[in-house]
Amino acid sequence: MRDDRSTHATMSRLLARYEFGALSDDERRAFEAHALECDLCFAELERGSVATAALRERARQFRQTLAADEARGARVAPGLAARLAGLARAIAAPRVLAPAAAVALLLVIVTLRLTGAPRYAHLATFPTDDVAADIVRGPGASDAVRELLVAGAGYFDIQQYDEAARRFRAARERDPQLAEAAYLLGLAEVFQGEERDALPDLEDAARLASDDLRPKAEWVLANAYLKAGRTRDARGVLERLSRGEGEYAAKARDLLARLPS
């Protein structure tokens, strides 16, 4: 059962890229082999087939909409330098974009540079292991909530953060005072690139956490602030954290030394 769920989780993550023809040959072969046996994936492919086929057919028309959107200076997620490098490579590839679109994207790059992205977002780091260790195993959580957290941690471990977040969110709704649910939901949201959504959850986690969890929750909160461009808030949390002892206090001191005063 675990194998089936794990396999489906791994494969279903590939579905969107499959629809857009963005899988490697090995990935495509594996995904199609799975979809021949998986009712869920087959149904989902059928559901998206009309829309993605139409999108692809009309890609040129939609690129104009997208270019206009970008020309207005819409900011994409953090990691700007690498992203711009990726865009630049895309622009440089003659098969990829028409000259007009390339010019539009170059304008976007200039616009993005001018509008600025979070300057210290690249310093943010987040724990990716020991998620299960944060699950409440004692009397603080009901069986139902614990079940949701365990299920969510399973999805988190296989990097299916949207499924993980859904379960952590359900746990949080059932027990809004449970710091672990808030922390795990915030962490899953961060890994989905939704750090702004994550901030209220992580703030609650830091506020509600016991002494055991609080340093880690504050560390994640500070890094989420950084990633969201709220450097001053990040500094405040790090300064408070750095006054303590232990692993996260040391990390906080190290990160503070790399931030502007």
Partner 1 sequence: MTLPPRLTEGTEDLIPRARAGDRDAENALFERLHARILARAKKKVWDEQAAEDIAQETLRTVFEKLREAALPNGLFPWVFTILHNKIGNYLKRRRAELERGGAMDPEITWETVGLSRDGEIAAIDLTESLEKALRRVTPECRKVFSLLLAEVGREEIRAAFGGEPQGTVDSRISRCREKLLRHLEELWKETGR
Of 132-171, which residues contact partner 1 (CB under 8 A)? Answer: 158-162
Contacts of range 160-166, beta carbons closer than 8 Å, 24 or more positions apart: 160/9, 160/12, 160/13, 161/188, 161/189, 161/191, 161/192, 162/188, 162/192, 163/9, 164/188, 165/189, 165/192
* C-alpha 107, offset from chain centre: 27
Least distance between partner 1 and beta carbon 17 (Å): 6
Q: Which two tokens stand for residue 149?
A: 């957290």
Among 56, 113, 137, 207, binds partner 1 (CB under 8 A): 56
Nearer CB in complex with partner 1: 24/210: 24
Q: Is 14 in the site for partner 1 (CB under 8 A)?
A: yes
Of 104-133, which residues contact partner 1 (CB under 8 A)? Answer: 122
Among 1, 40, 63, 255, binds partner 1 (CB under 8 A): 63
Residue pair 67/104 in contact (Cβ under 8 Å)? The answer is yes
Least distance between partner 1 and beta carbon 112 (Å): 11
Nearer CB in complex with partner 1: 117/170: 117
Q: Is 92 in the site for partner 1 (CB under 8 A)?
A: no
Q: Is 197 in the site for partner 1 (CB under 8 A)?
A: no
Give, rounded to a whole angstrom, the gap between the first and last alpha carbons of the chain.
53
Least distance between partner 1 and beta carbon 39 (Å): 7
Residue pair 222/241 in contact (Cβ under 8 Å)? The answer is yes
Of 176-195, which residues contact partner 1 (CB under 8 A)? Answer: 191-193
Cα dihedral angle (9, 6, 39, 24), rounded to 10 degrees?
60
192 conformational bin, left if phi > 0, alpha if psi -120 to 50, beta if neither: alpha
Q: Is 36 in the site for partner 1 (CB under 8 A)?
A: yes
Among 1, 21, 114, 261, binds partner 1 (CB under 8 A): 21
Least distance between partner 1 and beta carbon 155 (Å): 10
Q: Is 3 in the site for partner 1 (CB under 8 A)?
A: yes
Residue pair 231/118 in contact (Cβ under 8 Å)? The answer is yes
Q: Is 23 in the site for partner 1 (CB under 8 A)?
A: yes
Report d(CA 21, CA 5) in Å as an integer. Answer: 24
